[in-house]
Structure 1
Amino acid sequence: MADALTAHELVRATGKPAAELTKADIIAFVESHGITMLNFRYVAGDGRLKKLNIVITSREHLDRVLTLGERVDGSSLFPFVSASASDLYVVPRYRTAFVNPFADEPTLDLLCSFYDVDGAPLASAPEQVLRRAQAYLEETTGARLEALGELEYYLFSEVDSIYPIVEQRGYHEAHPYSKWGNVRRETMAHLARMGCQIKYGHAEVGNIVADGQEMVQHEIEFLPVPVQDAADQLVLGKWVLREVAYRHGLQVSFAPKIVVGQAGSGMHFHTRLSRDGRYVFADADGLTEDAHRVIAGYLQRAASLTAWGNTVPTSYLRLVPHQEAPTAICWGDRNRSVLVRVPLGWRGIGDRMVRDANPLEAPQDIDATDSQTIEIRSPDGSAHVHLLLAGLAVAARTGLLGEDSLEVARRGYAAQDASRDPHLPQLPSSCARSAEALLADRAHYEAGGVFPPGLVDAQAAMLRGYHDDQLSERLFGNADALAQLVAEHLHCG
């Protein structure tokens, strides 16, 4: 039975959860709602959402395309698929269907998976890598990983002389002191109708005035869902934000750095783990052994995870000390200078606060252990989201299975500002160093057939191709060169 409060149009129409939608449900919705076109959408090698328009010509045609999918040129979508064997199939996943809010004609969009010439899942396709990572994690540890992403972005507009913004003072500010909250709200409403699970949105710290422009930072945060769905939500979020901003005549950027010295945009991920239907990061005594083991896995793979989560040279202009972005590989409680943060949970509090704020409320027996997450703060808007989350699943698995994981977690704890401790291991300082870390760790990613060797090689080659080792030092004091570098990667991700 579907939730009566859902905004998802197909769920409301069918009365079924999205996970239970069938081909018959899709056809019935198309017929009853006058849908004239389908869009097949899929994430290619560059991490962006692609589109194939299909005009519905008959019921038979609709049934056939929903059953068989379509053919596409894989050599134009992936850098490591040869032109001589490039035909691929894209097959829709019915549970992802949503009404396109931007199309001029009634249109239904579906996310798709890639399959090869034999009808087998394409090993190097991002959604298939993530699917295998989750399956191998469950096979070897009995655990499933969930994630929620924090999507930070900047909007560019003319300077407002009536209520000017205050630089670096935008956090949770409200209109008129914060600008373009309507773009954020429109985006959130569209995403909810598409089936995305949204936690909240707000204005972020970053307010910048430069070159006659006002740049304001916002964030949309999602709810924890299985990692495959979490990746899809982030990719859809970027697409919808770009569409909404464009319709307001605005430029939006998810780049890790807009102006050197000002707050950059991260893409933090909170994660939680379940086993046998129970969330296992916290109990009545605090963080569990599972939580400490997963933290250890994140720390051990931290350097190589940047290969999936920090993929452009400006990523490493954000990962600098004293900018609320991590540089040292460590973890801590509620400490925003660390790489892996354990945020506030509601352990042991129950309904105490709500009864204090609302004295008429009767006591409730509520278990909030599922609220405890573990956050990784290094990724940014350049991340290849599906591959990054696959990497987090790999890291969680190595932590859960590692003999020395509890000792790694113990040694990696930082109680104070981590950026001030010179003895802690450091994140890579460039794409080139990130590529080295990935190649050093490749056995962990390739274990269980999760990451194909060719994909690891291609990612390392792409990162090395920037030739950015010691780039910050080479460009220090050269404002024009830094501005050009930022401009080159303004629309990454």
Structure 2
Amino acid sequence: MSMPEPKTAWRLLKSAGVKYVRFVIVDIFGRPRVDILPIDEAKDAFIDGVLFDGSSIPAYGGVNRSDFVAMPDLDSVYIETWNGGKTALIFTSVMDGSRPSLRDPRNVLKSALETVKARGYKPLLGVELEFFLVKGDPPMYADGGVYFDGHLLHTWPVLEEIMEHFHLSGIGSTKTHHEVAPGQYEVNIPAGDPLEVADKVLAFKILAKSVAQRHGYTATFMPKPFWGINGSGAHVHLSLWRDGENLFASVKEPREELKYAVAGILQNAIANSVFVAPTVNSYKRLVPHHEAPTRIVWGLGNRSAMVRVPYYGGRINRLEYRHPDPSMNPYVAFASIVFSAYMGVEKRLEPPPPVDTVAYELEGVRETPRHLGDAVKYAQESALLPEEFVKPYLALKEEEWLSYLKSEGDWEKTWNKITRWEYNAYLVNV
């Protein structure tokens, strides 16, 4: 289906009762920045784009070169039905003069996908996105539930409303359940083109936070808001297609193409860590025995491994990368994941043997970085993504790490507790 003409898209939204348009510019951290226009004033922006000051959004531009244009992507429009349907979210891609800006995370993902698709591959990607419902400051989880808990008297109205608007807003169909930790839930972002899925991740975060706030809760995508219980992951499920065939589909034994992709992801896992686990708090999730990976290994149906190949009844059709968490910039994370898998297939990389033991007990294998500072260092040595994006991104992540150390002291003294600095930085901001 082709993208609608700008005037047609504007007319359809106006006739549907939309009063305001929120044009979304994604910042370097994956957070939505919005320019809000009444529907009549938005008509020109549909055609000519949104003009903005790039020097006021980290890493886009300096004060001496700050005039940017964000062009609406009319394939990525979501109606805020949770707010009465009077507002539309429209994602944009930023132009730097006549070319797409690679400071824009959406353009980074677009560039990676163009490379992969030019070789005849079609990646499909979905995400299991976990989050907490919390109350208060310091926060406490909203319930004492357990995995698949069915007695959610207080929080079910929140989940019910989120589920309803997930569908009505155009994000798609999903399922949800209570996760292992108290106050923790999971939704599935349906599989699709990675750019579309990344947009849906941001749209869902906006939806969930708005609905939760209306009920007196905070929906937080902070990876590890509470020590001693499971943190939240963003498990990425990936398949690679060519000429209408799923290259990962098999029965009992993994196909070579799947193993090559696994090898590419594992080989680049350390360098990609800062993109898929991008916060100080991310590395407090990546500790043993809480269903988060610490060893860079893979296995069939093994949830302690970094890459799990789902193996229900011996059928295989995708891989699951368990390293990412919901604080990720989904565009940058997906670009690094897809490109790593693609490189593995193209180079026919061989992975190590799969493991069927609990991976946390393995010795002599590579491990995830200890903390954000190490993750920044490793990415500087071998990042796969465009330098135009990576250089300012890593500089900002280095500042984030140093700010934490200045506030809280040595990592060795704080790695096993959640600090006030982290709540201030991440509880509502990721």
**TM-score normalised by length of structure 1:** 0.79
Change (3 A) 1:195 1:81: same
Cα distance per residue 1:463-488 (max 9 Å; x no partner): 322136895422267x6xx4324423
2:151 corresponds in structure 1 to: 175
Alignment of 1:185-196 (within 5 A): 185-196=160-171
2:101 is the alignment partner of 1:122: yes
| Change over 3 Å in CA distance of 1:191–1:419 after alignment to 2 | same
What does 1:68-87 align with in structure 2 at a 5 Å threshold? Answer: 68-87=48-67
Match of 2:397 in 1: 463
In 1, the alpha carbon distance for the partners of 2:421 and 2:363 equals: 29
- Structure 1 residues 129 and 412, CA gap change in structure 2 (3 angstroms): farther
The correspondence of residues 431-470 of structure 1 with structure 2, limited to 5 A, is: 431-442=372-383, 445=384, 451-465=385-399, 466-467=401-402
Q: Which whole-Å CA distance do the structure 2 matches of 1:485 and 1:262 have between them?
A: 20
Question: Who is 2:197 aligned against?
Answer: 230
Measured against aligned partners, the alpha-carbon deviations of 1:253-293 in whole angstroms (never above 9, x if no partner) come to 11111121111111111111111122110135632111000
Give the share of equivalent positions with the same residue, in percent: 25
Residue 412 of structure 2 is aligned to residue 473 of structure 1:
yes
Cα distance, 1:83–1:155 mapped onto 2, change above 3 Å? same
Residues 393-417 of structure 1 show CA distances to partners (whole Å, capped at 9, x for unaligned) of 22112211225x12xx1x2521101
Report SS of the residue matched to 1:84: coil
1:154 corresponds in structure 2 to 132
Does the CA contact (< 8 Å) of 2:81 and 2:165 recur in 1? yes
Is 2:204 aligned against 1:221?
no
1:156 is paired with a residue whose SS is: strand
Q: Match of 1:197? A: 172
Task: Provide the C-alpha distance between the structure 1 equivalents of 2:428 and 2:16, rounded to a whole number of angstroms.
Answer: 35
Secondary structure of the residue aligned to 2:75 is helix
Q: Is the 8 A contact 1:381 1:492 kept in 2?
A: no
Q: Distance in 2 between matches of 1:149 and 1:182?
A: 23
Summarize deviations over 1:60-96 as a string: whole Å, max 9, x none: x654321111201111123252111111111111122
User: Is it true that 1:373 corresponds to 2:318 in the alignment?
Assistant: yes
Aligned-residue Cα RMSD (Å) equals 2.4
> Offset of 1:124 from its aligned partner?
1.8
* Aligned counterpart for 2:344 among listed residues 386, 391, 399: 399
Is 2:7–2:47's contact at 8 Å kept on the other side of the alignment?
no
Deviation at 1:460, TM superposition (A): 2.1
2:116 paired with 1:137:
yes
Deviation at 1:492, TM superposition (A): 4.1
Matches within 5 A, 1:71-110: 71-103=51-83, 106-110=86-90
CA shift for structure 1 position 454: 3.2
Deviations 1:422-463 (A, max 9, x none): 111111011111012111212xx1xxxxx3313212222223
Matched-pair contact (CA < 8 Å) for 1:37–1:105 = no
- Name the aligned partner's letter for residue 28 of structure 2: G
Alpha-carbon distance in structure 2 between the residues aligned to 1:31 and 1:315:
42
Quick check: 1:247 aligned with 2:227?
no
CA contact under 8 A between 2:17 and 2:85: conserved in structure 1? no
Q: Which amino acid aligns with 2:106?
A: E
Do 2:20 and 2:39's aligned partners in 1 also have CA atoms closer than 8 Å?
yes
Give how far 1:24 is off: 4.6
CA distance 1:47–1:473, change in 2 (3 Å): same
Letter in 2 for 1:116: D
Is the 2:72–2:91 contact (alpha carbons within 8 Å) kept by the matching residues of 1?
yes
- CA 1:89–1:20 in structure 2 vs 1: closer, same or farther (change >3 Å)? closer
Name the larger-Rg structure. 1
Q: Which residue of 1 aligns with 2:356?
A: 415
Q: For 1:37-52, what aligned pairs fall within 5 Å after superposition?
A: 37-52=20-35
SS of 2:70's partner is strand
Q: Equivalent residue for 1:491?
A: 428
* Structure 1 pair 35–235 and aligned structure 2 pair: CA distance change class (3 A): closer
Please state how far the C-alpha of 1:28 moved relative to its aligned partner: 3.5
**What is the aligned partner in structure 1 of residue 369 from structure 2?**
428
In structure 2, the residue matched to 1:56 is 39
In structure 1, distance between residues paired with 2:79 and 2:143: 36
Q: Is the 8 A contact 2:79 2:170 kept in 1?
A: no
Unaligned runs of 5+ in 1: 1-16, 159-163, 208-215, 349-368, 446-450
Measured against aligned partners, the alpha-carbon deviations of 1:218-255 in whole angstroms (never above 9, x if no partner) come to 11112210110111111111111110011111112111
- For 1:124, give the aligned amino acid: R
Deviations 1:141-174 (Å, cap 9, x if unpaired)?
Answer: 421211111111111248xxxxx955xx611111
**Distance of 2:110 and 2:188 partners within structure 1:** 23
Asked whether 1:258 is paired with 2:203, we answer: no
Residue ranges of structure 2 left out of the alignment (5+ in a row): 137-141
